[in-house]
Amino acid sequence: MKTSPSEPIRVMLVDDHTMVRRGLAAFLMAFDDLQLAGETGSGAAAIRLCEEVLPDVILMDMVMPDMDGATATRVIRQRFPQVQIIAVTSFKERTLIKNALEAGAIGYLLKDVSADDLVQAIRAAHAGRASLSPEAAQVLVQAANQAPAPGLDLTEREREVLALMIEGLNNTQIAAKLTVSPSTIKSHVSSILSKLGAASRTEAVTLALRNHIIP
């Protein structure tokens, strides 16, 4: 246990499961530099309670019935920017992690986090430092390394040409329909194949249909 030389870190708990809150409350009592500031079981109530108790750090569940943790986090961070929020959840889906961090959470931990890691995360949050569970960090790394969806860099004209390719028109027919020269269409088709990484018109059409590039 660490004895704080100053005021203890006031921690608020937000989780719709009573037993989880009780466990976390008991955990906080084991450390001299941590103090329970309040607890509640919903996102909407968390916003009201935060205004009353103004904690230093909030441990916020992400999945709750009335208002999800990301929404509550966003509102609290907008109203009380000095309050740091750590998402503590059972889920490690990319969307949940992204939503929590974009809402202003300074940390994202799974509920099976060790006591040592949790207390270090609370202390880090109070000092303005981020904490991510290894699983959450891995999800973010994988997301960052994913190649962007094909077709995002097509111009509006190239999309028009591709749509007509999907309809089965050849270069001459596309040129007539768009009132441009066949050589211009040939240039557009070449650019489309290059951007999609396709070796042929057929492959480009297949990629376009599979990835819903053309609505």
Question: Can you tell me whether residue 100 is helix, strand or coil?
Answer: helix
pLDDT for 147 equals 61
In angstroms, the CA 96 to CA 182 distance is: 49
pTM equals 0.67
Interval 169-173 mean pLDDT: 96
CB half-sphere exposure, 56, CA atoms < 13 A: 17
Output the six-digit token pair for 106: 């300074």
* Mean pLDDT for the chain overall: 92
Q: Among 8-22, 25-39, 150-164, where is mean pLDDT lowest?
A: 150-164
Kindly report, residue by residue over 52-77, the tens digit of the pLDDT: 999 999 999 999 988 999 999 999 99
* Helix H or strand E encompassing 79: helix 69-79
Interval 179-203 mean pLDDT: 94
pLDDT for 92 equals 84
- Asked if 70 and 86 touch (Cβ cutoff 8 Å), the reply is no
pLDDT for 148 equals 67
pLDDT for 87 equals 97
Interval 16-27 mean pLDDT: 95
- Is pLDDT above 50 for 2? no
Output the six-digit token pair for 37: 């500031």
Bridge partners of residue 13, in order along the sequence: 39, 59
Domains of the chain and any CATH numbers: 9-145 (3.40.50.2300), 156-210 (1.10.10.10)
Q: What percentage of the chain reaches a pLDDT higher than 90? A: 79
* Helix H or strand E encompassing 13: strand 9-14
Output the six-digit token pair for 3: 């004895």
